[in-house]
Amino acid sequence: MNAALIAALRARIPAIRDRWAALLRIERVDSPLAHPDALAYLMPSTIDQVLTALAETRSPALTLAAAQALPKPDCRCVHNPYVPYFRAGEQALIEALVFAQAERGGLQTRDAELAAVIAALRRIAHEEVETFCAVCSHRCTAGDCRFRPGDGAAAEQSSPDRADR
C-alpha cells in the first residue's frame, strides 16, 4: 500500500480509536470480556498490527471481491468478545481509509487499498478469534459451539478459506 496513505491512516489513529469505541458500544455485550471498556485497550495494538501488515504487504493486490470473501470473525456460540471487536474495528478502519482517500484524491487505487485493509484486518481477526475459541471456557458446552463433538460443521467452520462469512 502507498506509504503516504499509511501515514494518513497513522495520523487518524485517535479518530479511528474514537470511532471504533463508538461502534463497539452499540454491539451486543454477551460477557464481561465483551464490554467495550474491557476491549478498548487492545485498539492501539490492533491498529498498529493492521498498519504494519499494510506496509509490509508485498504480495499481489487482492481484488475487492476477493478481500470481501475472506472469512469474517465468527463464533456461533456468541461468547467470543473478539467477534464484535473486530466487526466494529473493520468498520472504523474502512471509514478512516475512505476519508484519507477522499483527501488525497486520485481514487484509481481505491478498491485495491480497501481490499488491502479488509484483508489485513480479517487475517488478524481470524487468528485472534480462533485463539480465543481454543481456550474458551464454554468450548463444547454452548449449544452452537463449532467444536462440539459430533458437529459436522466444526471442521468447515474453523477453515480459514471459508468465504461465506
Residues 76-133: tens digit of each pLDDT: 777 788 889 999 999 999 999 999 999 988 778 899 999 999 999 999 999 998 888 8
16 domain-assigned: yes
Q: Rounded to whole angstroms, how far apart are CA atoms 1 and 5?
A: 7
pLDDT band at 153 (very low <50, low <70, confident <90, very high): very low
Of these ranges, 34-43, 58-67, 90-99, 126-135, the one predicted with the greatest mean pLDDT is 90-99
- Is pLDDT above 60 for 158? no
**Cα separation of 23 and 7, whole Å?**
23
pLDDT in tens, 7-17: 999 999 999 99
Q: Which domain holds residue 132?
A: 3-157
Encode 146-162: b = buried (16+ Cβ within 10 Å), e = exposed: bbbeeeeeeeebbeeee
Is the pLDDT higher at 101 or at 147?
101
Check whether 148 has a pLDDT greater than 60: no
Residue 163 lies in a domain: no
- pLDDT on residue 137: 59
pLDDT of residue 156: 44
> H helices within 32-73, ranges in order?
36-39, 43-56, 64-69
> CB neighbours (10 Å) of residue 54?
22
| Residue 164 belongs to some domain of the structure | no
> How high does pLDDT run on average in the chain?
82
Buried b (16+ CB within 10 A) or exposed e, 86-109: bbbbbebbebbbeebbeeeeeeeb
Question: What is the grid cell recorded at 134?
Answer: 481454543
Number of domains in the chain: 1
Q: Is residue 145 part of a domain?
A: yes
Q: Is residue 162 part of a domain?
A: no
Give the pLDDT score at 127: 92
Task: Indicate whether 20 belongs to any domain.
Answer: yes
| pLDDT value, residue 86 | 94
Q: What is the DSSP letter of 59?
A: S
Tell me if 36 is assigned to some domain: yes
119 is a domain residue? yes
Q: Residue 21 is placed in which grid cell?
A: 469505541
- Taking CA atoms, 63 is separated from 68, 94, 111, 116, 118, in Å, by 9, 15, 7, 9, 11
